[in-house]
Structure 1
């Protein structure tokens, strides 16, 4: 009989009971998480459109640029954030706010690419996204689940920002809910989270499918042998991944039906909230990188050129529920210490409020956030001017921020890969330096 060890109990408890029924689970899971061999993971909470961080993390009360939102205190002394993020405020000990982000990219497409890769999208080199890099460095080639999963991605701004670049199709993401609307959908998030065509067609038994797949694989191999180009390789990789996932019991991690209804309510019955729950399930199942997008209706809800304050308020409520539940759930399952959470968009919004009660693109002074594993939480790092137009203290560039993420995950940001042009390229630009104060 197989010995019953801590990993077995952790896995069985996570699949069979909710956190409210598992008083023994949290300490046991915490002990398991401290094991040196425990796998690290990253969850990127991506805010499509460029969130108004001056109305979220770095308010300017009393100034004309400040807007109508009030500040509230948090669990970290001296750190104040928006009144519309009360649940995050109560959990700020896990979060490091970076109030001194700065960039020069004010175009959605260019900035999205830059924030995902750490490189500008100029020249012939096809840089990989952060998710693909983490999949390569922390993933496993024989894993049943993909090493990079992207939930509700909005790729219209920059398709290349979501691609594996010169790392190749092996490290491309599995997209979940890509064709579904991103606005809150009470009762409809189940359908949005589904991965289409995972089940075998009606009337096709497993042995018959295996025989068909074996024949198809042999034909693909013969075809690719005479045509060693990226298109043939990409086609074969995509089909191989799909077949492996269809035949794997691990695909159950992509289904939310066995989660307690109360927990699902806590996350929020919308695509972002259920996407955060899915991210927890995937990390728990060994997936090293999950990206969950929040962009509101049409995918660009944070692009608040008009009616900024009402739209930010609505999006904040969705963000507050989903992210706070994710922090609690990861912590209860002993996964927070090994899971780094990244919150960011492509840039911020103008401190000056325009004539349509909106804010426009502003890359020169904005905020991002880090939480969980490897992060020194409970702080606000850097400082902007009283009017929010400039960084006054400790500027953090996008490459420096991404280098910090890599370091928190135990990845050397100067690790080199060979690009499509034959040049060795570091994961993050060689000039980038991790921010030591943000690292736990």
Structure 2
């Protein structure tokens, strides 16, 4: 009877289970999303999430108690401190790339910048794995990006331009961001609106001519560069004429909410990220990439003044993003990762700054799939080495993939048909919900 019951159950399930799985996968309420908060320049762990009070390396900032007993952050992150129960602080990060370009590539792709393979950025990899329910919106959006350290670290690599990021308000283009009449930075998609002197009829004629020229050429080259180029153009045209393009227009958001995010590129970028996630975009990156002191968190001099200002921008934008996602029922399906290319030296240099330091530093995971309210890993009292819970970039990305529900073994096919794992490490079960 047990054998018959088992056989009957197996046969029955074979008919309806695949359909059920497909229905669940296509249910927008179950779709998973990822937001990368990228900190260009390398944020100082000692002045943010891994304070060293009482030690000469600790610096001038004080600690503040979070809403988790025993877990403390910098005094300049008071709003995030009230949300510590939703954050997993990864204090055991340890890598070996102390150069901006190489460190950026490693952390954003999971691989060292060497050899002929062009690895996709984590945004492209996850966009490919998670998919997008909206044919008009791109699956990968990067807001406020600073790409000058390593352009390839933002590339879709062998996945091709379909999964390349749509750049909005890139901070590495001088003069690309201006403020509107209310003082908010204007984060615009370049060339999404046609020139004023091009009316509907003239635009239609232009598109007709373009498609006539394209059709014959692309027909025999769909698998190569011509096909990829055409796909990108068609996607851009679809976005221009879609209602979903309104996701990039923040003017219809309440001024009170915009002010809570902060009138900064990062703050308004976090608001745009919520709007994009709300419309089904699987991956959005928001960069805190530049500051009055130089390139973001690259604080070789005057560290404490710069980090105080950066922390305020971060605290406003990130805390409001999590609260806003929760208010829209999206936090449980959205995993947030905060990181830069490396950390900074615990020791303070002669210019009151901190230098590059990949040996022992911090990243943070939050949101869907993450068990918050903890610090995983421990550094020595002077902050110079990891004493417990060493975490590599491969372990971090494997944990992220597991939290997103695609599995630590997820892989993308390269151009020769070989599966390339997104991460070759193992997930850290302690920080997975």
**Does the pair score TM above 0.5?**
yes
Q: Give the Å deviation of 1:219.
A: 1.9
- Tell me if 1:388 matches 2:383: yes
- Tell me if 1:433 matches 2:395: no
Distance in 2 between residues matched to 1:183 and 1:173, nearest whole Å: 18
Q: Give the Å deviation of 1:301.
A: 2.2
Distance in 2 between residues matched to 1:180 and 1:339, nearest whole Å: 32
2:261 paired residue number: 267
2:40 paired residue number: 48
Q: Comparing 407-416 with 269-278, which one deviates more in the overlay?
A: 407-416
Q: Give the Å deviation of 1:210.
A: 3.9
**1:252-291 to 2 correspondence within 5 Å?**
252-291=246-285
1:19 paired residue number: none
Q: Secondary structure at the match of 2:250?
A: coil
Deviation sequence 1:376-417 (CA, Å, 0-9, x none): 011111100000000001111111101111111111232332
- Tell me if 1:199 matches 2:193: yes
Distance in 1 between residues matched to 2:245 and 2:118, nearest whole Å: 30
Distance in 1 between residues matched to 2:334 and 2:327, nearest whole Å: 13
Q: Secondary structure at the match of 1:265?
A: helix
Q: Give the Å deviation of 1:40.
A: 1.1
- Tell me if 1:147 matches 2:139: yes
Deviation sequence 1:262-313 (CA, Å, 0-9, x none): 0000000111100000001110011111000002337722001111111101
Q: Give the Å deviation of 1:92.
A: 1.0
2:84 paired residue number: 92
2:73 paired residue number: 81
Q: Give the Å deviation of 1:134.
A: 1.3
Q: 1:354 to 1:230 in 2, by over 3 A?
A: farther
Gaps of 5+ in 2: 1-26
TM-score, reference length from structure 1: 0.87
TM-score, reference length from structure 2: 0.88
- The question of whether the paired residues in 2 share the 8 Å contact of 1:47 and 1:293 is answered with yes
Q: Give the Å deviation of 1:422.
A: 4.4
1:22 paired residue number: none
Q: Comparing 159-168 with 174-183, which one deviates more in the overlay?
A: 174-183
1:337 paired residue number: 332
Q: 1:189 to 1:140 in 2, by over 3 A?
A: farther
Distance in 1 between residues matched to 2:72 and 2:91, nearest whole Å: 12
Gaps of 5+ in 1: 1-34
2:166 paired residue number: 174
2:206 paired residue number: 212
Distance in 2 between residues matched to 1:377 and 1:387, nearest whole Å: 25
- The question of whether the paired residues in 1 share the 8 Å contact of 2:401 and 2:410 is answered with no
Match of 1:356 among 332, 341, 351: 351
Distance in 2 between residues matched to 1:365 and 1:337, nearest whole Å: 30
Deviation sequence 1:317-345 (CA, Å, 0-9, x none): 11011111101111111111111111000
Determine which structure has more spread, i.e. the larger CA radius of gyration: 2
- Tell me if 1:69 matches 2:61: yes
**1:240-255 to 2 correspondence within 5 Å?**
240-255=234-249
Deviation sequence 1:151-174 (CA, Å, 0-9, x none): 011111111111100011110110
- Tell me if 1:123 matches 2:104: no
Distance in 2 between residues matched to 1:113 and 1:326, nearest whole Å: 26
- The question of whether the paired residues in 1 share the 8 Å contact of 2:177 and 2:187 is answered with no
Q: Give the Å deviation of 1:121.
A: 1.2
Distance in 2 between residues matched to 1:296 and 1:184, nearest whole Å: 15
Q: Give the Å deviation of 1:81.
A: 0.6
Q: Secondary structure at the match of 1:334?
A: coil
Distance in 1 between residues matched to 2:414 and 2:86, nearest whole Å: 36
Aligned positions, number: 404
Distance in 1 between residues matched to 2:368 and 2:205, nearest whole Å: 44
Q: 1:275 to 1:91 in 2, by over 3 A?
A: same
Distance in 2 between residues matched to 1:190 and 1:225, nearest whole Å: 45
1:423 paired residue number: 418
1:321 paired residue number: 316
